[in-house]
Amino acid sequence: MTAPVALITGASAGLGVDFARQLSADGARLVLVARRLDRLETLAAELGNARAVALDLSAAGAAERLLADLAVHGEHIDLLVNNAGFGAGGKVAELDAARLRQMIDLNCGVLTELTALALPGMVERRRGGILNVASTAAFQPGPGAAVYYATKAFVLSFTEALHEEMRGTGVHVTALCPGPTATEFFDVAAYGQSTNLEKFAMASAPVVAAGLAGVSVNQPVVIPGIVNKVGAQGHRLLPRAILRKVAKLVH
């Protein structure tokens, strides 16, 4: 029997690397996608059952080019891990507007497009999985990282709706909502090393394991860690005016 193909975006660092290692250990064939070819090739060589695709997914037409690349290699997607994305810390008025638009396009637009391109084949085969990496940021507004929080709210809402649309089709759809995680995220987001968020960071590997376990049983939302589970329920317990102030403090 041919090993299932897992496509992982943002595979060159952080959660993406752990997704690759854990899926490889489970016997999947991997397609690793990110901009940094050197990192991807090093990871692919380590795993032995992966190939690297260097691609800037935020570029126009990138998702379609990626699916065409898979077709050339005779591959179809059995599991899509939409992990690519980034954040930016700071007040909206002080950040670069083009960079914010790029964040929305990557965190939301590319994720949606890849999902829409992958789903028809999964539905036809009556099997497959979509694992979208959201965040506990999805559950409240985030002054100091407003656009990032908003993109993750989109990912969560989109994924939950898609989970219901796919009910009965054999296709599993899961939103992984980690809290702060020990990756390169904080450096890219320019929060700085003193951020309060980093003090509560989980290791990457257990976050990934929770996400993969969740999509395997078609769990709609996975929140790894007790602290994150409790924190994500703040919107049910506190007025939004207080949530906004709390979120502002941690940045």
Give 191-228 pLDDT, tens digit per residue: 544 455 566 688 999 999 999 999 999 999 999 988 88
For the chain, the domains span 5-250
> Model confidence at 5, in pLDDT bands (50, 70, 90)?
very high
DSSP element (H, E) containing 54: strand 50-54
The topology under which CATH files domain 5-250 is: Rossmann fold (3.40.50)
pLDDT attached to residue 38: 96
Q: 195: burial class by Cβ within 10 Å (0-12, 13-18, 19+)?
A: middle
Residue whose pair of structure tokens reads 């901009």 in the numeric block: 35
Residue whose pair of structure tokens reads 């692919």 in the numeric block: 44
Residue whose pair of structure tokens reads 């898979």 in the numeric block: 70
162: pLDDT strictly greater than 90: yes
Catalytic residue among 15, 57, 145, 148: 148
Residue-wise pLDDT tens digits, 57-101:
999 999 999 999 999 999 999 999 999 999 999 999 999 999 999
Burial 110-135 (b: 16+ CB within 10 A, else e): bbbbbbebbbeebeeeeebbbbbbbb
pLDDT attached to residue 194: 46
pLDDT attached to residue 122: 98
Angstrom CA distances, 234 to 145, 167, 238, 243, 246, stand at 18, 29, 6, 7, 10
185: pLDDT strictly greater than 90: no
> Model confidence at 173, in pLDDT bands (50, 70, 90)?
very high
Q: Is 148 noted as a catalytic residue in this protein?
A: yes
Contact 37, 52 (CB under 8 A): yes
The pLDDT mean for the chain works out to 90
Lowest mean pLDDT among 38-47, 146-155, 234-243: 234-243
Contact 129, 173 (CB under 8 A): yes
Give the residue among 129, 136, 94, 153 at the shortest CA–CA distance from 219: 129
The residues facing 53 across adjacent strands are 33
Residue-wise pLDDT tens digits, 111-131:
999 999 999 999 999 999 999
> Model confidence at 229, in pLDDT bands (50, 70, 90)?
confident
Backbone angles phi, psi at 83, to 5 degrees: -105, -20
pLDDT attached to residue 199: 61
pLDDT attached to residue 193: 46
Of the CA atoms within 13 Å of residue 162, those in its CB half-sphere come to 25
